[in-house]
Amino acid sequence: MIIDNPVYCGKISYGRRVREKVKGTKNEYRQAPQENYILADGQHEAIICEELGIKHIKKEK
């Protein structure tokens, strides 16, 4: 969903996706827990307001 992506709120993230080697397959990617990646203000304009994004995340939990 678009609202789940912090880029649309004007943020950038580093380390959000983690690559893991699964035996017998290619590398697989998974999303890291939020406390394990960096989220910072981006230089781009937000498409949706941050309050809407936060409200959506809290509603899902």
What tens-digit pLDDT sequence spans the chain (61 residues)? 556 777 888 888 888 888 888 777 778 888 888 788 888 888 888 888 777 766 655 555 5
Residue ranges per domain, the chain?
2-60
Burial class (CB in 10 A: 0-12, 13-18, 19+), 50: middle
From CA 55, how far away is CA 19, in angstroms rounded?
A: 29
Cβ atoms of residues 2 and 46 within 8 Å: no
- What integer pLDDT is reported at residue 2 of this predicted model? 56
Structure tokens at 46: 């937000």
3-class secondary-structure state, position 57: helix
